[in-house]
Amino acid sequence: MPQTLNTTLLIIGGGPGGYVAAIRAGQLGIPTILVEGQALGGTCLNVGCIPSKALIHVAEQFHQTNAFSKQSALGISVPSVTLDIAQSVNWKNGIVDRLTTGVAALLKKNKVQVIHGWARVIDGKTVEVEVGTDVQRIQCEHLLLATGSTSVNLPMLPLGGPIISSTEALTPQAIPKRLIVVGAGYIGLELGIAYRKLGAEVSVVEARDRILPAYDQELTQPIADTLKHLGVKLYLQHSVEGFDADTQMLQVRDSEGQTLGLNADQVLVAVGRKPNSQGWNLEALSLDMNGAAVKIDQRCQTSMRNVWAIGDLAGEPMLAHRAMAQGEMVAELIAGKAREFNPVAIAAVCFTDPELVVVGKTPEEAQASGLDCLVANFPFAANGRAMTLESKSGFVRVVARRDNHLIVGWQAVGVGVSELSTAFAQSLEMGARLEDIAGTIHAHPTLGEAVHEAALRALGHALHL
């Protein structure tokens, strides 16, 4: 039997939360072992956030270059455009490889021992890891669970062949002629728009009555307009019945019970994600659960002493930056520092066309919580930088208390608004008021001027409207 390893901190999962926790623990001098069954970086780095943004960039460049083969207002003309999707995938994979190699180097630099294998929990202090044909036992003082999440599958659409998940969609061998996306959430629409720009005929099937149902309709309307402009077909309030591989037909049912057959070469299932709580004997710990997620407190502690959980395993919001912040905090708590995970707001970003950002409370959420708020929009149609980027749609929206002008939320939809998310989050964390934003000189010409103008408008004196 192999010798048992002993460590202060054992982390299961090498995604954003797990590897950041390990790096910070190493910096603090905590003996740490990180166990990862697949590639370092987890879903986000390997088959999620990073590769999807790379593919979206390829799609946008191809789409724009195609536009230049026709009449362009910019005066740019190209004779013909071709796409080598294999080269595109290689470029995307190169980015992923550089980032995962960088994570491995940082872990080594901070003296974190990485074990590539599949963990199985024995108890709150003991884990066995399958490393090839061998089993390694590890004992620890602190156990950090950072196993992430997995795609939600549909029983009537088992993955395989033409039925794919986002993982397969991010490594296409060819662009299908007809792609049907099941799910109009951010994953489905990000990839659906990208595939449309890469040349596929795209249809989106959604059980709810509108796209991006987690966000309000005013915010999602510019994205709906883009889908219409691109020729993406929407089948809202349609449920999936099944797929006939022989006829390449997806059967769907509308809200009135009528069935419809949709032709498809590929069907992308993108109906959400769920905590990865199965397959590694989590049940041995008998932890308090919140549905499929592990229940945690504001220090990311579970119901068992010295057992911690972070990221997607702990439920919504399933965001890599949330997991990273939690991982850093847990490492510092183990080192004896006084910390608590209590952010005012965490930005959520959809990398659709146009992009969408939500930070803090929306007008509806503010009203539901009993707040009397001022709400003001500033359209990008009145922003010079947006015009130079050939974008006139979208807006910045601010939500602030009427009594003291404390800002409680920001939302934006438009070209490049993902880069405004940091300013939004900072203003909430620092307790900014409308006067703080209105009194800050914003550089010209930038999209950030719309942030300034939204605050001015809420105060009753926008300058460029």
Q: What are the residues facing 233 on neighbouring strands?
A: 203
CA dihedral 123, 129, 130, 132 (to 10 degrees): -170
How far apart CA 26 and CA 13 sit, in angstroms, is 16
Q: At which residue do the structure tokens 């912040």 appear?
A: 325
Query: Are 15 and 145 spatial neighbours (Cβ–Cβ below 8 Å)?
Result: no
Active-site entry in 57, 238, 405, 444: 444
How far apart CA 46 and CA 327 sit, in angstroms, is 19
Tell which residue, 379, 455, 461, 446, has the closest CA to residue 410: 455
Query: Are 107 and 100 spatial neighbours (Cβ–Cβ below 8 Å)?
Result: no
Torsional sign, CA 163, 167, 168, 169: positive
How far apart CA 207 and CA 237 sit, in angstroms, is 4
Tell which residue, 320, 310, 275, has the closest CA to residue 99: 320
Structure tokens, 99:
């980032």
How far apart CA 15 and CA 449 sit, in angstroms, is 36
3-state SS, residue 239:
strand
Query: Are 30 and 335 spatial neighbours (Cβ–Cβ below 8 Å)?
Result: yes
Q: At which residue do the structure tokens 């691109």 appear?
A: 230
Structure tokens, 230:
């691109």
Residues making up the chain, counted from first to last: 465
Instruction: Tell how strand 201-206 and strand 233-236 pair up.
Output: parallel
Q: Is 444 a catalytic residue?
A: yes
Q: How many CB atoms sit inside 10 A of residue 77's CB?
A: 10
3-state helix, strand, coil in the chain (%, to 5): 35, 30, 40
Phi and psi (nearest 5°) for 458? -65, -30
Structure tokens, 163:
């039925």
Query: Are 58 and 198 spatial neighbours (Cβ–Cβ below 8 Å)?
Result: yes
Q: How many CB atoms sit inside 10 A of residue 8's CB?
A: 15
Q: At which residue do the structure tokens 């993406």 appear?
A: 232
What amino acid positions are annotated as catalytic residues? Answer: 444
